[in-house]
């Protein structure tokens, strides 16, 4: 199979103006990936599936990653001359800025016909709140259906054009998404028939304060 850099160049030639780049994996596996902007995601997926050289006709795995908001500290250095003629004084000024978080969906693609892969593609939402939306790739790879539903359920990514987007593990009335990094477990574990370990203490607190855990 051709190198990932070459695949990226071909995609950029095919879809000029699209946001496509290679994300390097510094780990021992060195499983690098393609970061694809949401606007071109569906077209890129169809190209990877239908291209004669690639033929990536099978999506083996889809997973989600939560990247919360983070505070970035930036340091600016400036040089102040010494009025007495000595060595100039270097001062530092630190400023903080909030870098918005996002949700990421990762697809692992293989070719069953050509027996190669994986090619890993990534897509990111605009944020983790009102724009946590990405195009569904289930119309491209049918095997993505249940896995996108799981990501919708546990991470909160809304997949447009998904044929059956509903919770798959949590119940319909459940609020929140348990795989997000800022998820807080509820104190009320009354549905646990035999609480044990830490659940015992949580159950005691819930029963002691039926209206909710003390703040």
102: β partners: 67
Q: Do residues 103 and 78 touch, judged by C-beta distance below 8 A?
A: no
Do the strands 20-23 and 70-80 form a parallel or antiparallel pair, or are they unpaired? unpaired
Please check the confidence at residue 191 and state whether its pLDDT lies above 70.
no
Question: Where in the sequence of the chain do the CATH 3.30.460.80 domains occur?
Answer: 4-67+103-181
Please check the confidence at residue 112 and state whether its pLDDT lies above 60.
yes
Percent of the chain with pLDDT over 90: 66
Taking domain 4-67+103-181, whether its CATH number is 2.40.50.140 is answered by no
Which pTM value belongs to this model?
Answer: 0.81
Mean pLDDT to the nearest integer, 108-136: 96
| Residue 100, CA distances (Å) to 65, 126, 128, 176 in order | 15, 9, 8, 19
Mean pLDDT to the nearest integer, 108-114: 96
Mean pLDDT to the nearest integer, 67-79: 89
Cα separation of 85 and 8, whole Å? 56
Please check the confidence at residue 184 and state whether its pLDDT lies above 90.
no
């Amino acid at each position: 199979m051709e190198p990932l850099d070459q695949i990226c160049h071909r995609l950029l030639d095919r879809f000029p103006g699209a946001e496509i780049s290679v994300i390097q994996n510094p780990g021992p596996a060195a499983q690098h990936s393609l970061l694809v902007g949401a606007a071109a995601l569906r077209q890129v997926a169809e190209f990877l599936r239908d291209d004669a050289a690639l033929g990536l006709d099978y999506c083996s795995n889809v997973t989600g990653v939560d990247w919360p908001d983070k505070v970035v500290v930036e340091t600016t250095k400036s040089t102040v001359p010494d009025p007495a003629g000595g060595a100039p004084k270097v001062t530092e000024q630190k400023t903080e800025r909030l870098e918005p978080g996002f949700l990421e969906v990762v697809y692992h693609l293989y070719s069953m016909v050509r027996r190669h892969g994986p090619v890993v593609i990534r897509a990111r939402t605009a944020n983790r709140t009102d724009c946590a939306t990405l195009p569904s790739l289930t119309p491209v790879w049918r095997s993505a259906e249940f896995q996108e539903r799981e990501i919708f359920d546990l991470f909160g990514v809304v997949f447009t054009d998904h044929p059956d987007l509903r919770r798959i593990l949590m119940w319909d009335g459940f609020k929140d998404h348990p795989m997000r990094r800022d998820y807080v477990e509820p104190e009320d574990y009354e549905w646990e028939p035999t609480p044990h370990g830490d659940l015992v203490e949580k159950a005691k607190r819930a029963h002691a304060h039926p209206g909710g855990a003390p703040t």
